[in-house]
Structure 1
Amino acid sequence: MPDSLTRDSATTSVVVLATTPASRLSCADGTLRDRLSDQLAVLPVLDVQVLGPGGGLGADLRGVAKIARFAPGAVVVLPADLVAHTEALALLLEHPARDTAALVSFEATAAPMRPPVRVEGARVIAAGSSFHLVPEANATFRGVLQAGETDLTSLADVAEELAELAETGKLGPVTTVEAVDLLLVGLVRSGVPVRAAGIGPLHCDRVTGQVSADNAIGRLADVDESRVRLDAAVKDDDGFFATYFVSPWTRLLIRPAARLKLTPNAVTGISIGVAALSAVWFSAGYRGAQVAGSCLLYLSFALDCLDGQLARYTRTFSPLGAWADAMADRLKEYAVYVGLAFGYAAGLPLSESGPDGIWYLAGAAMILQVVRHAIDYSYAGAVADAGRAGASWDPSPVRSLLESADAGRYGVPRQGMLGLAQRMERERVTRWLKKAVVLPIGERMALIAITAGVWNARVTFVALLGWGGVAALYQVIGRIARSAR
């Protein structure tokens, strides 16, 4: 466990719903409830509160609401009839964001103990129960729900309203088994952003009888949890260049870096230093220096990938680290632009704007990248503001909780450009083309390294302006289409 996530610094409270007979099924560690308690003991948990059987669904939900009202930090709600890898629970309990999230599996076959959900953009946008339908479901909820500190009031409100609906019979024949499922439905339909924490190859299943419990526990041994954690540290949705030319070997450095107690911020600092050396070599202007600068730029980008992989492996994210990493990317890239322009100018006679207008080209490339980043950040900020405005306009989830399906929101087929983008995502080749067209940082670093090492800085800047211009146009059209939706 990372040093920053010790039990002494934990602020997450866990509510265990030991309300079903399956929680008392036997296993090698006693009962399933005992086994779950042992797992929670090695995770960064402030306290564990157990709700026992006897009160019914309404009482269980009111118990969750009461705990949420007074909890000092995030609250995790999970049933005691759960058989899961410890690493699966750690996806929520060790994640430093401590945000609102749900464990999901992208095995989309729904079952009574695996209610359907729809996930888009790493968010749960629709959740189901025996009372709530989910059109176009693409994943299943695996019974573990976390409410971040800022969403505890929403959790309490949802739990109390659900309790009232259950007690008055307005939810139909639901039972205590569905308490966590209903809470997820309530949070999603009340507008709370819920991150989808995918369990990947890990197991996290609720059981109903001794045979299913034995089978579920037996399946746990089929998965190497440490290997899964390493695999999860490497992005599976990265750019083409990072996926095929960087990550296959930087993943080999993750565990050694963790054993050396290198922090992600330290790796970011090393990456900045290597990029500075790259800019210095580029500024020399002769062919050997250009090749050396290209190699160092590739190494700098590899270290930039490694710092994120190390952060995910050790789960030591921080707002400062994220900000520093983003700023470092911009500073390294612009320093390399300056180095390339100096090196090109050193080898040719000077003119008003430098040889062949190289300084104009460098400035234009830099401005274009600034504009592209502004498009991304301003759009993300606008989406966040719109989401907050929508949630504050209609904060009560009662009406949506009583709807059996929300086809108007979740079942509308995508048309036009967004529909085309979705279809492109389904095909491997077009998906990579879609990723590459926006010229992400990996492709930019590769473009700079190859063109500068093989040709010269003028070719580099012309290529950046051409490809970057297409990328900016694609971004603008895409943002307009999404906004219109």
Structure 2
Amino acid sequence: MAVVLATTPASGLPVAGGSLLTRLTRQLILLPVRDVHIVVRDDGFRGLDGADGIDDLNGVGDLTGVRHTVTAGDGLAADLRIVAKVARASAGAVAIMAGDVVAHAEALAALLEHPSADTAAIVGDGEAGPLAPPVRTERGRVAAAGNSFHQVASANGTFRGVLRVGEQHLGALAEVADELARLAEGRHLGRAADTEVADLLLAGLVRAGVPVRAAAVGPLHCRRVAGKIAADTAIARLADVDEAEARLAASIKTDDGFFATFCVSSWSRHLVRPAARLSVTPNAVTGMSVGFAVIAAVWFSEGQRLGLIAGAVALYLSFVLDCVDGQLARYTRTFSALGSWLDGISDRVKEYVVYAALALGYAAAAGGSGDIWVPAAAVMILQTLRHTIDFSYAGSVADAARADADGTPSFHLLAVPWDHEGETRPAAKGAGSSVLALSRQLDTGVAYWLKKIVVLPVGERMALIAVTAALFDARVTFLALLVWGGGAALYTLAGRIVRSFA
């Protein structure tokens, strides 16, 4: 369901094909939105050429079969209560947006078609203003959100007027909207205007402890406009961006490892669109990746130099396809729980099969020597422990976040016009916080990539196996994995401990 707040005069501005509202609605009906709830003012929404814009919208809805509802609100409090009612009645995620938004359809799709069930807001760069309130993001999450009542220190982005609330957070949305409505009726929100419904809700959700993902638009455009000139200019600028290319660029992970970023994703992206045109599924690409890993294992098991080189090439291609399956899933937005599980399991299977094949080949070349199995088993055990450290920590963080989200939000904080940085981020104390602060300061430049490399992610592991196997032998491969992997395990374990205390 989408709630479109057509409560500003700009929503009815005439543009090609109707008004800004009808343009936005036509974009929504091409996305997985089956119910559009439009909030207007009692004096009526004036659309193209002064006609009733709802008539145009009715035509759009009748043609597409998308159900739409029009509700008249008479101010900020009434609009917020409408949102609360919709949240309580909805059986799925709810999108909330201003009716004066001008956006690429791909920018909206990146938020509304995202397969995760999370809560997210479109965040962009640029100078903050009345229609683009400041936000501060940290590690892909909205840590603070502002409006005319709530201030934000150290802002590094702006909210673009489009918010999606996941099904698991609809209860919190309803309670936040009701509490904000109560505060608005009591005139406790200062100069907050009825054009700031989405802005206030974003700030309220963040303050209530709901995790809100920052959905970056990248080169795509998504912004609110205030007048005819601004609207025409914003629409004209949409043609400056190739939406298909932007979608492809967005399918490439931005936080991947060094080897995956520079030695794989720099060219593997060219395989994504052909695969999509051929209707190849991400799971099929995962299967191909497993196939190349098996081929690599067969070559490694021979133990001869030519076989080791061929196996190294096949292992590299297996990792390339391992990256492509995720890129294709993001490009086509066809994520699934099964696909995610298969991808994770296949990575472990491929890696351990390769270890066994390397040991077999070394033993065969050495005339049946069995001492290679000790380092091979040690590498498998070490890698299993490393995954346990990572996954158990990630699970505990997810459990803690879920517990926070299920708790009672601190709505009393919504009426306090404090600076988010000063109140929500108390002064760090102790060595753990100091180390964590230092680590975050190193998240730029060379230090950032060194931190990525030192933890020996899967890309670096595959590269290490391929290079050492092709140039040396399995014993050198296992020794390198034990030394580097052992250091990475200690580094990761120390980091998890520090984060836990901080």
Compute the TM-score of the two structures, normalised by the length of structure 2.
0.90
Among 219, 222, 234, the residue aligned to 1:216: 234
Match of 1:442 among 459, 479, 487: 459
Contact map agreement 1:344 1:456 (CA 8 A) in 2 = yes
Q: Which amino acid aligns with 1:284?
A: E
Comparing 84-93 and 96-105, the one that deviates more: 96-105
| Unpaired segments ≥5 residues, structure 1 | 1-12
Are 2:123 and 1:104 equivalent residues in the alignment?
yes
Q: Cα distance, 1:298 vs. partner? A: 0.3
1:471 matched to 2:488: yes
The letter for the 1-side match of 2:466 is A
- Residues in 2 aligned to 1:393 and 1:235: alpha-carbon distance in whole angstroms: 32
**1:364 and 2:368 correspond:** no
Instruction: State the partner residue of 1:160.
Output: 178
Per-residue deviation at 1:412? 4.3
| 1:77 aligned counterpart, secondary structure | strand
Q: 1:244, CA displacement in angstroms?
A: 1.4
Secondary structure of 2:196's aligned partner = helix
Residues 58-91 of structure 1, C-alpha deviation per residue, up to 9 Å, x if partnerless? Answer: 0101111111111121110101111111101001
CA distance in structure 1 between the partners assigned to 2:13 and 2:364 by the alignment: 77
- Mean alpha-carbon deviation: is it higher for 383-392 or for 83-92? 383-392
Residues 296-318 of structure 1, C-alpha deviation per residue, up to 9 Å, x if partnerless? 00000000000001000000001
Give me the whole-angstrom Cα distance separating, in 1, the residues matched to 2:426 and 2:226. 32
What is the correspondence of 1:181-260 to structure 2 with a 5 Å cutoff? 181-260=199-278
Q: CA deviation at 1:40?
A: 1.3
Displacement, 1:108?
5.1
Residue from 378, 381, 404 that aligns with 2:418: 404
CA contact (8 A) 1:232 1:313 kept: yes
Structure-to-structure mapping, 1:257-276, within 5 angstroms = 257-276=275-294
1:483 aligns with 2:497: no
Q: Which residue identity does 1:440 align to in structure 2?
A: P
Specify whether residues 108 and 370 from structure 1 end up closer, same or farther in structure 2 by C-alpha distance, changes over 3 A only.
Answer: farther
- With 256-265 and 210-219 compared, the bigger mean Cα shift is at 210-219
Is residue 18 of structure 1 aligned with residue 6 of structure 2?
Answer: yes
Deviations along 1:392-433, one digit per CA (max 9) or x if unpaired, are: 45434232443422313237469522222122212x211111
Alignment match, 1:136: 154
Instruction: Give secondary structure in 1 for the equivalent of 2:84.
Output: helix
**What is the identity, as a one-letter code, of the residue corresponding to 1:213?**
A
- Preserved CA contact (<8 Å) 2:107 2:217: yes
- The share of aligned pairs that are identical, in percent, is 59
The amino acid of 1:220's aligned partner reads L
Report if the CA contact (8 A) 2:362-2:372 is conserved: yes
Q: 2:101 aligns with which of 82, 85, 88?
A: 82
For 2:443, what is the secondary structure of its paired residue?
Answer: helix
| Residue equivalent to 2:67 | none
> Are positions 1:382 and 2:396 aligned together?
yes
Structure 2 CA distance for aligned equivalents of residues 440 and 96 of structure 1 = 25
388-397 vs 79-88, which moves further: 388-397
Letter of the structure 2 residue corresponding to residue 371 of structure 1? L
In the TM superposition, what whole-angstrom CA distance separates every residue of 1:256-279 from its partner, at most 9, and x where no partner exists? 100110000010011111101111
- Are the aligned partners of 1:438 and 1:474 in contact in 2 as well (CA < 8 Å)? yes
Matches of 1:413 and 1:209, distance apart in 2: 45
Q: Provide closer, same or farther for how the CA distance between residues 108 and 418 of structure 1 changes in structure 2, counting only shifts above 3 A.
A: farther
Q: Point out where structure 2 has 5 or more consecutive residues left out of the alignment.
A: 43-73
Aligned to 2:71: none
How many equivalent pairs are there?
467
1:380: Cα distance to partner?
A: 1.1
> What root-mean-square deviation, in Å, do the aligned CA atoms of Structure 1 and Structure 2 show?
1.5
Partner in structure 2 of residue 33 of structure 1: 21
